[in-house]
Amino acid sequence: MAFEYLYKEYLNAILLSTLGTTYAKADLSNVITKSLGLNGYYKFPDGLVIQWGTNYSSGQYRTIYFPISFYDLNYSVLTNIQAQTNVQTVVCTTTDTYTKSSFRVIGAFIQTSMTFGYPGEPIRWIAIGKWK
């Protein structure tokens, strides 16, 4: 699919050049790149990028690394934890320690028996920001 898009852009540039117009594109900066895996991203031509993933480590603190780095620290992250089979547990997460290539999740749970601990379940996340 990406090859077809590039080929069409190439043909368009040739056509416009042969017509003597100044509209032929000199670069391919408008090409969308993506990685649609479990930990993936979608880069838009205007500089927007959406990234997502799942972290399977456990403990109170988890550092999560992005598939690609953001341009700056002006991005947002949402996290949630995969539910346990025990519905009498409340699990919460928050984030801190942001860098262009990672962020840290802090997780905790409390059960109705007032037992406190750190979750071992996978944390799913999504982030949106700029890549250029």
**pLDDT of 54-79, one tens digit each?**
999 888 999 999 999 999 999 999 99
* Residue 67 CB burial class (10 angstroms; 0-12, 13-18, ≥19): middle
* 73-124 pLDDT per residue, tens: 999 999 988 766 656 677 788 899 999 999 999 988 887 778 888 888 899 9
Pure H helices in the chain = 2-18
Beta strands per DSSP E along 1-132: 33-35, 40-43, 48-55, 61-65, 76-81, 89-96, 102-111, 116-117, 123-130
Would you list the domain boundaries of the chain? 1-31, 37-130
Q: What is the pLDDT of residue 24?
A: 45
CATH of domain 37-130: 2.60.40.3940
Tokens (6 digits) for 17: 């050049």
Q: What pTM value is reported for the model?
A: 0.71
